[in-house]
Each structure stands twice: as C-alpha cells, then as structure tokens.
Structure 1
Amino acid sequence: MQEPQSLLATARAKLEKSLLAKGLRRSGERFAILEEVYSRNDHFDAEELFQAMQQKSYRVSRATVYNTLDVLLDCGLVRKHRFGEDDNSKSRYEKSLGRQQHAHLVCTVCHRVKEFCDPRLHLIQTNVGNALQFEVESHSLVFYGQCTDDSCETKPNEATQEVAKRRNDAI
C-alpha cells in the first residue's frame, strides 16, 4: 500500500492530467478538495466535505465541491455510492486510489458504513466472470442491517425494535 503522501502525489498528478485533457481549469480549490478527500478514511457526502472545507477555512462554494466531486469521479479518484433503498438517499463518496476492493455494511439505524474485505469475494467475482464469459472490472456488495455497536447513538430501544419488526413482517 502506498504511503499517504505518495498516494496524494499520484492523485494530484492524475487530476492534473485529467483537467488538462478536458481543458478544465487547474484551480487551487480543486486541489484543496482533492487533498481533503485523500486525508479522509470514511464515506462522506458532499455537504460533509463542504463543511470540512469550511472548518479548515478554505473558501470554496458548495457548487465547487459538487463540481469537483464530479471531476474526481470522472477521472477515477473517488467512488460514488448510494447507500439506501430510496431515491432520497444521499450519494456518499470514498477515495479510490490505493484502496483494495471491499464490500460494505450499512446500519439502517445509525447509518454508519463499515467496510470489510474477504478473499472469497474475489474468488466469486473470478468464478462468475469465467462462468458467464464476462470480464468483471469491479463489484459492489452492500449488506443492510442493524449494528450491535453500543455506541450506535440512534439505536432504538427494544420497544421501537419490536414495532419495526412487526411493520417489516406486515410488508
């Protein structure tokens, strides 16, 4: 795995190359946003990224954050996820360079996202690709449920869990 500074240098070079190829401006704001993204080890939405930039006294607009995320997505520097079952779920992002392929666990109560790696996932990907004569480039696997973490700040009590269970059983 690359060192964080080396990884950031690689990301900066990739962004610069992409901006030049598309004739887009190489602004300091875009590179500051890239640096903030690559300093994180979580899944974040655009608003969280905007707030982080504001807290560090970077003067960037929301539009710049959203537009830069699109540029970073387009050149493969971030991945975009929609963790949720409805159209109103927020897009979440994570850096993509220097990351091994992984899957996600999403708590439907506190909405935390946890990552996990399992070598069997790669084996399944390879076997499915071979069996169906398909060149798999990546995969996405998300498990939804409730974490059992005691620090789950919005974890429902037993009464609300029973109501939710009955509602799900009725569906």
Structure 2
Amino acid sequence: MPLPSHTVHAVPLPRECSVADRYPHPDLADAYSIELPPGASQNPEELARFVFAHVPGWSRALMGLRDLLVAGLGLKTGAQLTATTPAQAAERVGFFRIYTRRADEIVLGEDDKHLDFRLSMLCSPSTATPRGRRLTLSTVVHCHNRLGRAYIFAIAPFHRRIVRACLRRAARIGWPAAAAA
C-alpha cells in the first residue's frame, strides 16, 4: 500500500495552470497531483528536472520503442530533442523544451507536424494539509491531423501510467530539499 505522500491522484486541470486554456478543444487533457512532504523543494523547474531524471526503466524502454516506430514517419525522436550543449540543456528538461518559467510553475512541451503538447508542473498550496504543498503535472495536446489523433489514441493509456509512475517514483526516491533560507 502506497504511503499517503506517494499517492498520485487524477485531478481536474487546475484553473491557475498556464496550460488549462492553451487549446480551445484539446485532444488530450489530464492532470495528476501528489502531496509534497514538508521541507521539499517548491521550485517547479527543480522538481521537473528531478522527476524526469528518475523515469522508470520500463518507461525509457517504451520511449525507445516509440522512437523506433515514429522515426520512419518523420516525427521527432527523443535523440533529436535531447540537448547536446550546456546552453541547450538550460532550455530543456530531458527532451522537453521549456516554454515558460514562473515561481510556481514551469511549462514544457514540443511542437511537431502531427501534434503540439504542453506539460505544466505546478506547485500550489495543498488542500490536504495546512501550509502543505502539492505538485500537479498537467498535460494538454492539440492534434493537427489523423496521424496525431491516431498517435494520441495509441499512447494515451501509456502516458497516464508513465505520469503516475514518474510522480510515485520521485516520492519514493525522496524529493529534493528546499533551499536553505
């Protein structure tokens, strides 16, 4: 049984989330939330880098398979998106491009010929504990064509499992500590 701090909940897209209204009619929109323990970092970029640095091995294997399947379709692969210089790395989290940074949120994503997507990591007050914080990972996708819609249909169940697994794994490993004041 997972500890309460390791429980990931499906939640509505938070209103304060920058991606909530990104696309008028998204082809996929979901959000998952986890409570952060006292003393954990509240820096969304640091939390995003931590989460995506600790992706489960099975998820990396699925991404490798995805890259093999889509490369022939002319879609961007993880290898093509991965930063190769320190300057590029500062503008990416894993293979996700950084679009915006705020004190409470970072927005990541990518645009491709079949679809565009944005992912928000929002650190907000918890509703479960006084002065607590929670991290909500929200994803919205806009498809441009049939290939995009077929792609989302095929990967949506995996996406949901991967997001939950990434948040749970980060909690099990132990969130990065907040910077000393």
Shorter-chain TM range is: under 0.3
More strand by share: 2
1 or 2 for the larger relative contact order (CA 8 Å, sep ≥6)? 2
More helix by share: 1
TM-score, length of structure 1 as denominator length: 0.24
User: Which of these two proteins has the greater Rg computed from alpha carbons?
Assistant: 1
